[in-house]
Structure formats: structure tokens, C-alpha cells
Structure 1
Amino acid sequence: MADTDTQLIKGELLARISEKMKQLDSMRPIPADVLGRLHEETRLVHTYHSNAIEGNTLTLQETKLILEEGLTIGGKSLREHIEATNNAKAFDRMEELAKKKCSIDHIIIQEIHEIVTRGILEDAGRYRTRNVRITGAVKSSPDWSKIAKLMDELIEKITENSEHPIETASFLHHRFVEIHPFSDGNGRVARLLTNLYLIARDYPPVVLKKEDRGKYYKCLRAADTGNLGPFANYIAKAVDENLTLYLSISGGNDELLPLKELAMETPYSQEYLSLRARQGLLDAVKIGKTWHSSKHAVGQYLSEHGKKDI
């Protein structure tokens, strides 16, 4: 975390997140059945994307069949099946801990790792006792003998910090994978710990997508050189997108619709709105391969950047 008062995250993005958080707070308490649907959907997509980032070849639909139907997918390895069920169980445990506002400590970190790697690693839930070399890393992982001390320092920093929660969550994520405390499974655990920290502070969970894997690793490499800004903004964008998904449950002007449908009520084409979405000027999320936004977001874009007469 920076020693200055300068925020790492773009002001416009933080302001948008803050506004959405206020809107989400005004919707509480969210009905139990709605919360249940949100949990199941987020659990599924997080499990799929987090595993896919690490090379698991299960599709989203195959992951869904394994988690919801207990099916075995032909042509897929036993390890890939175990990774799916383990990560989903770890997501459930992470949410339980977050709802209790539990502080992240050694016990929680090792418990989550044990769930994620149960039946896969012999040292599941235990810090590594050997040195490792990470392909593509800017610098080598710390010597195994220093892990306990470095993890002590990380836990202390995130416990006593006064930075914005998203900045702290970004720092936690990067520093954890930089320390690389376990022999394997560090990325999956880091993404779960990031969500534990955010949910405990009333943010919705984030999903880091397989399609953005290249950007994810590029931002982590920048953080390796001391520049946490790109990664903090990457995490903030994920928070912003999931807030949009959560707000869409209220329907009305916040309901998510394909840009093709929304474009018909604007002076612009679907292609132009897609461009503005990619540029971050139009508040939108990509679901599958299709950009979605809301009437509220399009109206806001028109008032700030475009023609006001629809």
C-alpha cells in the first residue's frame, strides 16, 4: 500500500462505485430468495473462472452440471472435477466467514487452502517447506523459511490499514501471490481472500474472468515492480461490474438489457455503444459475449457525453 495520501484508483470509478453502494444499501434487506439466487450464480461463475484462469478446461455449463447435478463429465480429468467441487465449497466457507466479519488470519488462510486443494495436494492447508520458481514472475518467490514472518506482516498490514477497502483488497491479493505461501493453489486462494475481505465490508463478491487472464497477469506483474495502480483499478472495475449485476435485481431502469435493445432508444448504434462500454464511458457489463447495460446507465451516459434527446 502506498505511503502517500494519493488514491491508486481512478476518482471517477470510485465515485461510481460509491454511488452504487449507496443504491445497494437502500435496497437492503434484499429478499432471501433473491440473495439465494445471487449466491448460486456468483458461486458458479467464480468457481468456473477462477479454475479456468489456472488452466482447468471445464466449461461453465460443465461446471454447473458438476456442482448442481453431481454429474461426471466424460473426457475431463478427476482433478478438474475435484477442483470444481473444492472451489465451490471454499466459496461457501469464505462467505460464511465474511458474514461473521471474521478477520483474515493464518488459521483462515490455511483452512481455505485446505478446502481448495483437498484430495489434490499432500500438503493441503500447510505453508510450503521448499522453494519454488514461478514461470513468468518478475522476481523469485521468497525463501520458504521466511513465509511465516512475511504472512505475519501481511496480516498485520491488512488488519491495521486505513486505505480504501478496494485498495487494501488489491494489496492483499497481490502481496499474497507474491509471497506464494503454498506449494500450489495460491491464485485460487488469493481470489477467495479478496472476496472475503470485500464481502466483510458489505461489497458484493467479485469475479475475475478467464477472458481477462492476460490483463490480470499483466497488472500483477506491474505490481511486482512496485506499481499497484493498474491492479487496484482492475479489481475496482470488477467490483463496479458486480455492483451493476446486483443492482439489476431491482428491475426497472436498472434492469440489464442487451445494447442492441437499448440502442433502439438512443441516437447511437449498438456498435457505438459497445465501443463506449469497452472504453469505460458507458456503464456496462459483458455477459457471455454480449454487452449489457441499463436504461439508467444509458440515460446517464447521454446526459454526460451525448445527446440528451432520446
Structure 2
Amino acid sequence: MYVSDMNSALIKSIEGKKKELDRLRPLPKAILEKLREQFYLEWTYNSNAIEGNTLSLQETDLVLRQGITIGNKSLREHFEVINHKEGIDYLEKVIKKKTSISLNLIREIHGIILKNIDDEEAGVFRRTNVRITGASHIPPNAAKVYNLVEELVEWYYLNHKKLSVPELASWFHYKFVFIHPFIDGNGRTARLLMNLILMQEGYPPAVILHLDRRKYYRVLREADKGNPLGFMDFVGKSVERSLIIYLNSFKIDSKDNKQGYITLKEATKHCNYSLEYLSLLARTGKLSAVKFNRNWMTTIEAIQTYLEEVT
């Protein structure tokens, strides 16, 4: 099972875009800072929303940037937002200091995720057996968790130079959630660790969208049954999406460089919605879309996904 399983054409496409991005370095600081802000907000919102947090993208932004408490939302949901952003800030320090991935680092990240939510379990490997709702996979016995995480770290170093960066990050994510080392917060921690691996190698963070939640869980279940290809490609496409956004932000003339993205006006041809309604869906995070300069762009696949969600 633990071999290269990502589609070779996808890897080639990702690595080609990464080389293109590297050629543009050093990247303009002002644009880079704006992108980081956009990505960290999107990453925090989506990662929490996947786990059931009901704060919208705009509410998440208000909590992070203005420290506003949102009415009718739980204290836990507010802490999930604050903690996740703190987790990202911690990753940046880890990258700057070139700290190695270790058991302690994993516990440290998880400790941040559950801070003020469940301080007793924050950064502590689970001591009880668990079952995941809606999944056929039963996580390993609690007594094995410590050794399994230790083996995962060893696996990471053994394969660090053998696998491509996107494959390494994807596999680490999958293997981590397979072990399910903590009582709570495994998904958020897995996505932070996945992005740590990517960011250490100069990749932008890959944001798994809340809109793709059902597909995300489906490909995870398929991987549990011994078919990891769907999951690997799913993560690979998230990596590619981030690279496309970065490239289009740094290129001076990106009119013909949208890499599969279409304008919302073009998108109206693929559904029965008006431009105004699609714009509303994009702004509220209900339609997977990205902003290139001032224009919202989406993909035909995103339109189809939204239509499937509402029908």
C-alpha cells in the first residue's frame, strides 16, 4: 500500500507549476502577504467547517481580525478559529527554525488545536479505544497509538527523499487519520501536518474545501479499503489549486493563464443561475471560487459539485 499512488500526470503538472513559481522568486512581499492572509483565513474556515464549525467565512474573518464575538455561536467555535490560526502561526515558526517533525511536534500542534476546548486531552495521545461515526475503519487499539505515531515519523524520514513532496504530504495525512491518535481534533491536526510538509518545501498550503467534504470523506473511506488513489489525487488537486492561485497572483498578465478557471459569466452557461446569484454564492463560500485580481473565477467541476449538493 505504501508506494507512490498519485496520478503521474498530476504529479508532473504540480511539479511543473512549482518550478514556475520558483522561477518567479523572490516574490513581491506585498502580494505575498495578501495571499498569505487570504489563504490562512480560507484554510482556517474550511478546516473547521469540515469538522462541523458553523461560523461562516466572514464571521471567521471577524473573529480573527477584529476579535469580535459572534452572537448565537458557541465559545468552542470561537476557540476553534483562534486556535487554528495559532496553529498556522506555530507552523511558520517551525519552518523558520527548521524544526524536525517529531512526536513532540505533533503533540504540540494538537495541544494548540484543543487549547481552552479540552485542556485535559490537548496534546495527549488517546487512552481509550474509539469508533469513527459513519466509517467502517476502526482505529487501532489505544495501547498501540504511541508506537504507531513513532513508526509514522520514522516512515516520514525514510520516504522524505523517495516520494515527491505532494505524495509525501498526502500519505502522511492519510496515515495520521488512520491511526486517529487523539480523542478529538485529528482532522485539523492532520491537515496542519500535511501543509507543514508542503510549506517546508516552498509549496503554498493546500486548502481542502468544506464544499468537498463529502468527497473528502468518501476518498478517505476508499483508502481505508485499500484504494488510496482517489485520496492521493484529491489532495494533489488541492495542492495544484493553490499553486494556480499563487501563479495567477504573481504573473503580470494572467489573462490566458487561468488553468481551468472560468469567469462567473461563463459559468452561467453551465447552470440556470444568474451572474448575480453565482457572485453571491462565491462571496458566501457556497460555491468554490477564487479571486484573480477583482474577478471571481470558478471551475465547471465546482459548478457541478454545487448542483449535486442542492439537488
Match of 2:152 in 1: 154
Match of 2:87 in 1: 90
The alpha carbon displacement at 1:262 in A equals: 8.6
Identity fraction in percent: 43
For residue 76 of structure 2, the aligned residue among 65, 79, 82 is: 79
TM-score (norm. length: structure 2): 0.82
Distance 1:61 1:261, change over 3 A: closer
Q: Is the 8 A contact 2:172 2:194 kept in 1?
A: yes
Deviations 1:195-225 (A, max 9, x none): 0011111111010000000010011111111
Q: How does 1:39-188 map to 2 (within 5 A)?
A: 39-121=36-118, 122-161=120-159, 162-188=162-188
Please, which runs of 5 or more residues in structure 2 have no aligned partner? Answer: 272-281, 293-311
Does residue 8 in structure 1 map to residue 5 in structure 2?
Answer: yes
Distance 1:259 1:138, change over 3 A: same
Q: Is the 8 A contact 2:127 2:143 kept in 1?
A: yes
The alpha carbon displacement at 1:193 in A equals: 0.2
The alpha carbon displacement at 1:290 in A equals: 6.5
Q: Return the alpha-carbon distance in structure 1 between the equivalents of residues 197 and 94 of structure 2.
A: 10
Match of 1:254 in 2: 254
The residue type paired with residue 66 of structure 1 is V
TM-score (norm. length: structure 1): 0.82
How many residues in Structure 1 have an aligned counterpart in Structure 2?
Answer: 274
The worse-fitting range, judged by mean Cα deviation, of 253-262 and 240-249 is 253-262
Q: Is the 8 A contact 1:103 1:159 kept in 2?
A: no
The alpha carbon displacement at 1:21 in A equals: 0.8
Does residue 33 in structure 1 map to residue 36 in structure 2?
Answer: no
The residue type paired with residue 212 of structure 2 is D
Q: Return the alpha-carbon distance in structure 1 between the equivalents of residues 263 and 28 of structure 2.
A: 31
Match of 2:189 in 1: 189
The alpha carbon displacement at 1:26 in A equals: 0.9
Q: Return the alpha-carbon distance in structure 1 between the equivalents of residues 122 and 288 of structure 2.
A: 39
Match of 1:221 in 2: 221
Deviations 1:218-273 (A, max 9, x none): 1111111122111110010000000011111224332677734896xxxxx86369
